[in-house]
Every structure is written in structure tokens, then in C-alpha cells.
């Protein structure tokens, strides 16, 4: 009976706002009564347009908001590459270009906006693009890679225009920014802020043309664009490529043809519930015009999405306007604008701090209240936007500012002060999260984090979404959490485990200073009890990092987890995988043949990994040494796939083979992988080296990534893939090889010394004080540790030995590799396989009453 009562909700569009709508619908229970059908025109699911420029560094997959291509809720169906051609409001149906008709009970339009291309002559020439989608960027990259394309122009100097200019600059094209207004980012910043921003941009090698209007695009002999002609008789600008970024216009054609009411300046006219003139049609995001106004930022779209879900659930939420504040890093320059940035309110006053030498401009717009104090209305920050997270929530809050409000924008050490936020201050405008909600997530009676309160800022972000979209408020979220803990006398226990009342970093320093070499000595002198599965591997990792000993040495073998204990990764049926090192992904045919012969002779499953290696699955424990010997005799060694250590340094083919490559990425990748192989660390380490800005090695998805430039190498740190992908950040640019190695040595050893147990480099960078702090230590050497860190790495490099070869040379170590201690020659009968696609696959043993029957023999190390 209930199935006949279900309703159908159709969503047209699948951008960021549509994705947020579906997420909210699932989370708030709308799918209990509605089947949701999403029709997206693009061939790919929703992706992060806010970070679109990073596509050149990280690729499309890293930007995806739905990597699997489907929602976990089976009541949501997503169709991509499907364009809706018509809406029949009376019949409540939508029809696609292909002729598919779908009935709806409720329709949500989330069609977004289209880039505006001024109708100037020549706008349809070759090598003329817009900047809106991943496909647009792919086309721009392809054009920029042609040898005849040397100079490009971006028409538009607003937010998107500067993002597009950054993209051209990354592609190695001589870049011009053409803006009709008298300054860059005319909507967000004032004249002085625009002048500061311009100096930053021009210092990077870009050329800025403001106060000029493009009259036409002139063609060359090939039919492609060859020059920009300006109004007023100014000299034409020779260019080989043009990107229009002159604003956006709502995609409202479907609504128009369906007879829905349209706002005067475009967009579907909706009320405060985001309902259109048809009671069963709703509009959200850039295609909507609440009260006749179109909003071009993601945060208002998210609010509209939540409002519509609330309305469909019978709630009373309303869209009452949006915070249009922005904070971003444009071409490496911090720029922020919030509230009444231009001082349009009556009786407003400006407080300005400007440092032309440092390239910093800050302005606060304030107004005196009836009580004689001042309130903050808005502001502009260029060159240093660190105060944005605190200042933006105060704008328009009515909170009284200190007696000397100018101190809010003075640099540290020059009179600056900190200011607390009221409970109702909106800390995260993207997701509408207040100070009170953040504090509430860490209150003792909170039930957000698996039934209990959050204990750190990362948990707060997961549970409240504060900082999960643009990320600009993350520092503020972290500070609120820490301040709350300090105010309530609550501390987060960072002890390694019950046996060591210290962090991994503290324990590392104790072991290093005292020269301890055995776990028994460590726990006897600085711990209690006998240790556990947490502290034993952690201490083993510390000892290995400091001493670079063999993990199977008698004093350390009992500390290892299963993978380290057998120098291989255990699989679900009790067999193991073998991964030989293939530095930089380069391998000879002879070694490939040996790998193939080993896989054939031992009946192993083979797969090429994402790290450019070949994984051999299904090896029995007793066969591991025999397999290793065949590989070692052929000149190969352990790939350390089993350890918390360096795994791979991935590379593209670089300048050796690729016509776009500017440096030898393979050679450098091999050098780095051989240099850092075997380096034991708090978590696994992965690297990448790309030979040009096209980033085929995906280096910015690694713990350390190196990208070639015309002048040398850019070094990125703190990235990772996995369940929570993070983009690596630029630590230093245009480095020569020697400097690159020094900085990498320092970075890795600093991480090894100071990170927590099982902490990847990305959260470590954030926890230790952010990229700026890492740069101070690694590049600027503010702690005077550079020589020590480099010496520690040199000791590691000099003392490295292959663990497979060392095990083969030691009979005592070889004795471990038997399936049963009381029957050394007998293989484990419970390790079995089945055939799947012409290769083996694990065949798990049958269970009786939930217990796997292991027989009477004694497995090494107990049941696996």
C-alpha cells in the first residue's frame, strides 16, 4: 500500500547545488516518501567548480563530489549526459532531447548559469573559449599546448577572470587580463585594494589592462584569433588565445518555455520558499532569482537547497538573502571581501591599514552606534586575509567593537588583538553554521560523534560541515574548538595509549635523546605494563626510523604487525601479496619477463597498481622467500608495500618522450624513490613527479609532489588520495635539484619526528600550524634544525639495505616462513583459491557457527 503513496521528485541539473539538495533530501528523510530522479546535462556527476583551476594539477576525479557516480540511497537515480528539452507544467512531465518523458509530482530546477559572451565581432573565432566546465578547461589546455600559441588574454578581471588567468599562467602562456572597469575585482574591492591586487598580479608576470573595452577580435590567416582591438583607438593586443570570463547569465530557457514567471534581469522568479509561479516547480542556485535577484555564489545556492527540502518536508524555512562575502587565493594572493565592503551605508567610516612594501591592504567599514561604540559593517583584505574568519561573522552582527577598532587589522606585534565571536555569529557562510553549533558539537552532552561529543576540529567539520566547502573558515573553527576546551578546563588526551602517557612525537624525542634501541628499555624507562598492539608497532616504527635496522631482528620482530612481520601484505584468505619495487614506474623487458614467470610458476594473481607497480597476489607463506630470491636475483628488491614507509614515487614520461615535458620526471622520480626507499614513518608515504603542468603523474595527490617548470621544480607537500582526498600545497617553487633534495629531506624527517601515530602528512601539516609553519621550519629554518634533519636523512640513505635480500641471507629469519611450527613442510590447507577471469581469486573456508575451522595444526603467529 505504501508503495502507491510514493511521490516522484525530479531534479533538472546536477551541479554543486543540485548535489547538495540530494544530500539534504537523503539526510533529512525526504526519500522516505519520494523517489528522486536527477537529470544532469554534463557527462560527469557534480564536481567542485569552486576549485576548478586546480583541475590542471589534480585532474577531474579529485574534483568530483560523487566519485562513485551514484548515491548510496537506492531511491535516488542519477542520469548524466541527459539534457532536458521541455517541461509540461500542466501534465507535470519533463522530456529529454532523446525523447524520454518522466512524470513528476515536484520539480526542482537547478540548471545553473551559462557564461556570458559579449556579442563583439570575432567572438566565434578559433581558439576563443569560455571558462565554466572541465570540458572548457580541457579545450583550453589542448589549445595552449600548440606550439604556435604563445600569448593569451582573459576578457574579464573579476573572480572568475583571475581564476582563468591563473589557469593560462599555469599552462605557460603569456597572460593578459583585460577589464573594462578601472580596477580588478571591481565588485569586491575598492580602488586601493584593486591597486594592491594589481601589483601582486603583475609581479607574477601577468599583464593587466584596466579601463579598456574590447571592440572586436581579429582573425589571423588560420582563422584563429590573432589580436584584440580596443575601443578608443588604442593599439591592438596580439594574442593567440582568448578566454571570455565576463560574467554569467541564469539558464532559464526551460522555465521560460514552460510559462514560468521570469525575473526582470533573468532567472526563475521564486518566493522566499524558492517556489516558482507554478506551485509544483522549485528553483535553486544560479538559475533562481529570489525576490528578483540572482546569486552567483555557491553558498546562497546551498541555502536554497536546504530551504526547498525543508518546504517539501512541511517546514517553514525561508530564504531571506545571502552573505555574498568571498575569500580566496588568486594567483597566490589572499583576497577577501565581506559585508558592506564599499561603505554604502549612511554614516559609515573607513579604517584603513596599508603597507605598500609588503603588499598588504586592509579596510574595515564601521559605523558609530547610539551607545557610542562602533559596529562592523564590512571590509576588504588584500595580501593578508588571516583575520577574515573572525571579521566576517562580526559584519552586520551588531556586536560592539573594542574602543580602538583599528587594532583588528593591525599586524601581530603592532597592536593587533583577538576578538571572540557571539553564539549567533555565522562562522561558515557556505553551510550556515554558527559559533553556537560549533561549540555544541564539542559540548559534553553532544551526541554527534558516534553517540558522543567531538574531540577535535576535524570531527566538528565532519559533523556540522563547517569548513567543508571552501575551507576559508577552518582556522576559525579550530580556534573556537580550542578556546572552548581551554575555557571549560577540558583537554584532549593525546597519549599514545594506556602504556605511554605521551604523544608519538614526545616518545620519538625520548628514544632519540636517550639512544634507546629496544622496546623493553623504552617501556621500562618511560612507560608501564607490557605494551599493546598500538604502542608496539609505533615504537618499532620509531626505532626503525632512527636506527634503520631490519624489522625482523630479534629485538624487534615481536613488535611488528602481521604485514611487517612477514614482509608482505596478508590477504583475506591467509595468502600474501608480493610487490617488487619499480622506481618511477620504469622497468626493463627482462625484469617484466621475470615477474611474469614468477606469477606463472607460483600461480599468482597479477594486477598493475595505481602506483605504477605490479602486485602479485596469492603467495603462500612458505613460498615467499623462494619468490623473493627469483626477484632479487633479477635485480629487484622489496617495494615496502607492507610497511608504514615510502611506497612509490609515481612519474610521467617527462621530457624524455613527451613533447610537452620540460624536465626529466622519470629520472628525478627514480632518484627520489631510491633515496627515500625504506624510510619508516608514522604512516605510508607516496610521491609523484610530473614533467610539466599537465600533471599526468597526479603529484598533487601525494604526500610530496614535484612538478616541472621551465626554471626547475615546484615542490608540493601534504596531499593524499584515499577516502578523504587532499590536494598538496606549494611549499617552494622553481627549485634546482640540490635545493629540492634538501627541502624534501627536511620535510620528510620533520614529519617523521613530529607526526602522531598513523597520521598522514595532510592532517599533520594542518595540526602542526599549517603550510606557513612547515615552510618556516623547512625552507626558512627558523628552528635551526635543517642540518640535523639533513644529517638524519643522510644516515638513512647510507644505511639502507633491502629487507628481502637481508632475510634471504639470514637462516634465523628464514625460519619464520613456514605455515605451521609443528609441521614445517606442510602448506596451510585452508589457503585455497577459485578461478575468476582466468586468474586465481581467494576462496574463503566455510564457517561453522560463525567460527572458521582451522584444524589441529598450529598457524604461525596464531589465527590470521
Give DSSP secondary structure letters for 792-830.
HHHHHHHH---HHHHHHT-HHHHTT--SBTT-TT---TT
CA distance 800 to 544: 11
What integer pLDDT is reported at residue 570 of this predicted model? 79
The DSSP code sequence of 771-797 is HHHHHHHHTS-TTS-HHHHHHHHHHHH
Is the pLDDT score of 517 beyond 90? no
pLDDT, average across residues 533-541: 79
pLDDT in tens, 88-116: 999 999 999 999 999 999 999 999 999 99
pLDDT in tens, 27-82: 999 999 999 999 999 999 999 888 887 787 778 888 899 999 999 999 999 999 99
Point out which residues pair with 606 in neighbouring strands.
Answer: 616
Q: Name the nearest CA neighbour of 703 among 672, 674, 734, 733.
A: 672
What integer pLDDT is reported at residue 2 of this predicted model? 41
Is the pLDDT score of 821 beyond 80? no
In the chain the first and final C-alpha atoms are separated, in Å, by: 49
**Nine cell digits for residue 416:** 593587533
What integer pLDDT is reported at residue 854 of this predicted model? 31
What integer pLDDT is reported at residue 454 of this predicted model? 82
* Residues 364 and 350: beta-carbon distance below 8 Å: yes
- Burial of 621 (C-beta count, 10 Å sphere; 0-12/13-18/19+): buried
Please, which residues have CB within 8 angstroms of residue 394's CB and are 6 or more apart in sequence?
A: 376, 401, 419, 421, 425
pLDDT in tens, 109-120: 999 999 999 999
Is the pLDDT score of 562 beyond 70? no
CA distance 560 to 387: 46
Give the position of cell 619495487: 581
What integer pLDDT is reported at residue 398 of this predicted model? 78
Lowest-confidence pick of 115-129, 557-571, 603-617: 557-571
- In sign, the C-alpha dihedral spanning 772, 774, 776, 782 is positive
Point out which residues pair with 735 in neighbouring strands.
Answer: 713
Using DSSP bridges, classify how beta strands 7-12 and 34-39 pair: parallel, antiparallel or unpaired: parallel
Is the pLDDT score of 492 beyond 60? no
CA distance 24 to 30: 8
pLDDT, average across residues 530-554: 75
**Nine cell digits for residue 395:** 559584519
pLDDT, average across residues 449-473: 74
What integer pLDDT is reported at residue 472 of this predicted model? 64
Task: Give residue 588's region: left, alpha or beta (phi > 0; psi -120 to 50).
Answer: beta
pLDDT, average across residues 575-600: 94
Please, which residues have CB within 8 angstroms of residue 525's CB and are 6 or more apart in sequence?
A: 514, 516
Q: Which residue has the higher pLDDT, 330 or 315?
A: 315
What integer pLDDT is reported at residue 92 of this predicted model? 96
Is the pLDDT score of 413 beyond 50? no
Rg of the chain, C-alpha, whole Å = 30
CA distance 753 to 506: 9
CA distance 723 to 223: 47
Strands (E), 135-276: 151-155, 174-179, 207-210, 214-219, 225-230, 237-238, 241-244, 248-250, 268-270
Is the pLDDT score of 463 beyond 90? no
pLDDT in tens, 11-32: 999 999 999 999 999 999 999 9
Is the pLDDT score of 742 beyond 50? yes
Q: Name the nearest CA neighbour of 7 among 129, 125, 103.
A: 103
Give the position of cell 561549540: 439
pLDDT in tens, 281-326: 999 999 999 999 998 888 899 999 999 999 999 988 889 887 777 7
Give the position of cell 575468476: 836
Q: Name the nearest CA neighbour of 385 among 189, 170, 245, 199.
A: 189
Q: Which residue has the higher pLDDT, 477 or 822?
A: 477
* Residues 717 and 747: beta-carbon distance below 8 Å: yes
Lowest-confidence pick of 484-498, 629-643, 768-782: 484-498
Q: Which residue has the higher pLDDT, 571 or 780?
A: 780
**Nine cell digits for residue 595:** 615477474
pLDDT, average across residues 232-251: 91
What's the pTM value of the predicted model, to 2 decimals? 0.55
For 541, the 3-state DSSP assignment is helix
What integer pLDDT is reported at residue 494 of this predicted model? 63
- In sign, the C-alpha dihedral spanning 22, 26, 29, 32 is positive
* Alpha helices for 128-190 (secondary structure H): 134-144, 159-170
Lowest-confidence pick of 483-487, 759-763, 807-811: 483-487
CA distance 282 to 70: 23
* Residues 704 and 717: beta-carbon distance below 8 Å: yes
* Residues 32 and 58: beta-carbon distance below 8 Å: no
Is the pLDDT score of 858 beyond 60? no
pLDDT in tens, 825-839: 556 666 788 888 999
Is the pLDDT score of 673 beyond 60? yes
Q: b/e for 637-660, b at 16 or more Cβ within 10 A?
A: bbbbbbbbbbbbbbbbbbbeeeeb
Q: b/e for 157-175, b at 16 or more Cβ within 10 A?
A: bbbbbbbbbbbbbbbbbbb
Mean pLDDT of the chain: 85
For 129, the 3-state DSSP assignment is strand
Count CB-CB contacts under 10 A for residue 18. Answer: 27
Is the pLDDT score of 389 beyond 80? no
CA distance 775 to 783: 11
pLDDT, average across residues 591-600: 96
**Nine cell digits for residue 519:** 622496546
What integer pLDDT is reported at residue 649 of this predicted model? 96
Give the position of cell 590536494: 727
Is the pLDDT score of 847 beyond 90? no
pLDDT, average across residues 731-747: 96
* Residues 127 and 142: beta-carbon distance below 8 Å: no
Is the pLDDT score of 279 beyond 60? yes
Backbone angles phi, psi at 344, to 5 degrees: -80, -20
What integer pLDDT is reported at residue 555 of this predicted model? 57
What integer pLDDT is reported at residue 470 of this predicted model? 66
Which band of pLDDT confidence, cut at 50, 70 and 90, is reported for residue 479?
confident
* Residues 753 and 741: beta-carbon distance below 8 Å: no
Q: Which residue has the higher pLDDT, 740 or 864?
A: 740
The DSSP code sequence of 273-309 is T-B-SSTTEEE-GGGEEETT----SHHHHHHHHHHHH
**Nine cell digits for residue 437:** 553549533
Amino acid at each position: 500500500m505504501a508503495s502507491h503513496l510514493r511521490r516522484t521528485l525530479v531534479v533538472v541539473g546536477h551541479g554543486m547545488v543540485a548535489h547538495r539538495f540530494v544530500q539534504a533530501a537523503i539526510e533529512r528523510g525526504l526519500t522516505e516518501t519520494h523517489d528522486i530522479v536527477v537529470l544532469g546535462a554534463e557527462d560527469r556527476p557534480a564536481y567542485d567548480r569552486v576549485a576548478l583551476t586546480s583541475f590542471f594539477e589534480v585532474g577531474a576525479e579529485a574534483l568530483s563530489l560523487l566519485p562513485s557516480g551514484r548515491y548510496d540511497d537506492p531511491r535516488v537515480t542519477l542520469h548524466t549526459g541527459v539534457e532536458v528539452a521541455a517541461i509540461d507544467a500542466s501534465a507535470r512531465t519533463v522530456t529529454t532531447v532523446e525523447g524520454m518523458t518522466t512524470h513528476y509530482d515536484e520539480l526542482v530546477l537547478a540548471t545553473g548559469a551559462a557564461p556570458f559572451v559579449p556579442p563583439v565581432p570575432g567572438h566565434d573565432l578559433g581558439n576563443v573559449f569560455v571558462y565554466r566546465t572541465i570540458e572548457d578547461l580541457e579545450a583550453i589546455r589542448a589549445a595552449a599546448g600548440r606550439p604556435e600559441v604563445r600569448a593569451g588574454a582573459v576578457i574579464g578581471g573579476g573572480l572568475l577572470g583571475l581564476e582563468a588567468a591563473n589557469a593560462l599562467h599555469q599552462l605557460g602562456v603569456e597572460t593578459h587580463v583585460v577589464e573594462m572597469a578601472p580596477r580588478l575585482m571591481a565588485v569586491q574591492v575598492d580602488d586601493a585594494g584593486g591597486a594592491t591586487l594589481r601589483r601582486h598580479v603583475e609581479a607574477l608576470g601577468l599583464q593587466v589592462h584596466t579601463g579598456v573595452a574590447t571592440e572586436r577580435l581579429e582573425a589571423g590567416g588560420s582563422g584563429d584569433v590573432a589580436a584584440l582591438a580596443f575601443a578608443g583607438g588604442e593599439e591592438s593586443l596580439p594574442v593567440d588565445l582568448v578566454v571570455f570570463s565576463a560574467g554569467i547569465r541564469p539558464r532559464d530557457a526551460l522555465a521560460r518555455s514552460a510559462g514560468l514567471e521570469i525575473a526582470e534581469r533573468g532567472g526563475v522568479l521564486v518566493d522566499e520558499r524558492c517556489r516558482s509561479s507554478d506551485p509544483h516547480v522549485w528553483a535553486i542556485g544560479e538559475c533562481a532569482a529570489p525576490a528578483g535577484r540572482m546569486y552567483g555564489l555557491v553558498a546562497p545556492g546551498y541555502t536554497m537547497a536546504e530551504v526547498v527540502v525543508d518546504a517539501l518536508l512541511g517546514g517553514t524555512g525561508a530564504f531571506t538573502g545571502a552573505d555574498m562575502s568571498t575569500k580566496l587565493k588568486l594567483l597566490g594572493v589572499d583576497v577577501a571581501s565581506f559585508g558592506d565592503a564599499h561603505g554604502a551605508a549612511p554614516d559609515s567610516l573607513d579604517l584603513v591599514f596599508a603597507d605598500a612594501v609588503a603588499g598588504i591592504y586592509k579596510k574595515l567599514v564601521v559605523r558609530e552606534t547610539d551607545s557610542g561604540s562602533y559596529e562592523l559593517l564590512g571590509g576588504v583584505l588584500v595580501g593578508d586575509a588571516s583575520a577574515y574568519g573572525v571579521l566576517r561573522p562580526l559584519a552586520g552582527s551588531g556586536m560592539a567593537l573594542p574602543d580602538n577598532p583599528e587594532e583588528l587589522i593591525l599586524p601581530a606585534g603592532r597592536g593587533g588583538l583577538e576578538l571572540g565571536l557571539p553564539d549567533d555569529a555565522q562562522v561558515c557562510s557556505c553551510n550556515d553554521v554558527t559559533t553556537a553549533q560549533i561549540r555544541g558539537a564539542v559540548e559534553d552532552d553532544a551526541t554527534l560523534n558516534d553517540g558522543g561529543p567531538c574531540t577535535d576540529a576535524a570531527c566538528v567539520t565532519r559533523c556540522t560541515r563547517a569548513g567543508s566547502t571552501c575551507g576559508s573558515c577552518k582556522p576559525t573553527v579550530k580556534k573556537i574548538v580550542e578556546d572552548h576546551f581551554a575555557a571549560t578546563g577540558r583537554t584532549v588526551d593525546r597519549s599514545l595509549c594506556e602504556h605511554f602517557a605521551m604523544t608519538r612525537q614526545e616518545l620519538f624525542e625520548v628514544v632519540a635523546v636517550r639512544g634507546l634501541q629496544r622496546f623493553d628499555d623504552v617501556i621500562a624507562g618511560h612507560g608501564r605494563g607490557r605494551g599493546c598492539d598500538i604502542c608496539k608497532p609505533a615504537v618499532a616504527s620509531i626505532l626503525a626510523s632512527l636506527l634503520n635496522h631490519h624489522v625482523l631482528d630479534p629485538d624487534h620482530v615481536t613488535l611488528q604487525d602481521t604485514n611487517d612481520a612477514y614482509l608482505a601484505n596478508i590477504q583475506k584468505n591467509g595468502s600474501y601479496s608480493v610487490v617488487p619495487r619499480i622506481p618511477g614506474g620504469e622497468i626493463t623487458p627482462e625484469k617484466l619477463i621475470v615477474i611474469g614467470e614468477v606469477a606463472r610458476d607460483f600461480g599468482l594473481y597479477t594486477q598493475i597498481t595505481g602506483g605504477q607497480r605490479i602486485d602479485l597476489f596469492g603467495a603462500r607463506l612458505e613460498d615467499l622467500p623462494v619468490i623473493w630470491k627469483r626477484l632479487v636475483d633479477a635485480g629487484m628488491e622489496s617495494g615496502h608495500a607492507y610497511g608504514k614507509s615510502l611506497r612509490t614515487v609515481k612519474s610521467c614520461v617527462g621530457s624524455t618522450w613527451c613533447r610537452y615535458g620540460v624536465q626529466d620526471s622519470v629520472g628525478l622520480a627514480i632518484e627520489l624513490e631510491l633515496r627515500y626507499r625504506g624510510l619508516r614513518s608514522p604512516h605510508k608515504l607516496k610521491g609523484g613527479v610530473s614533467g610539466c603542468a599537465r600533471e599526468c603523474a597526479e603529484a598533487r595527490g601525494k604526500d610530496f609532489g614535484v612538478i616541472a617548470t621551465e626554471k626547475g621544480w615546484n615542490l608540493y607537500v601534504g596531499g593524499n588520495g584515499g577516502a578523504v582526498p587532499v590536494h598538496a600545497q606549494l611549499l617552494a617553487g622553481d627549485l634546482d635539484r640540490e635545493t629540492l633534495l634538501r627541502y624534501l629531506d627536511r620535510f620528510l624527517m620533520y614529519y617523521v619526528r613530529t607526526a602522531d601515530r598513523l597520521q598522514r602528512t595532510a592532517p599533520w601539516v594542518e595540526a602542526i600550524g599549517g603550510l606557513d609553519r612547515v615552510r618556516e621550519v623547512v625552507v626558512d629554518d627558523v628552528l635551526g634544525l635543517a642540518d640535523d634533519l639533513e644529517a638524519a636523512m643522510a644516515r638513512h640513505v647510507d644505511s639502507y639495505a633491502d629487507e628481502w635480500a637481508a632475510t634471504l641471507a639470514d637462516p634465523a629469519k628464514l625460519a619464520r616462513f613456514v605455515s605451521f611450527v609443528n609441521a614445517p613442510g606442510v602448506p596451510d590447507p585452508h589457503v585455497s583459491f577459485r578461478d575468476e577471469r582466468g586468474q586465481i581469486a581467494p576462496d574463503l573456508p566455510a564457517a561453522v557457527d560463525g567460527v572458521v575451522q582451522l584444524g589441529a595444526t598450529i598457524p604461525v603467529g596464531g589465527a590470521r
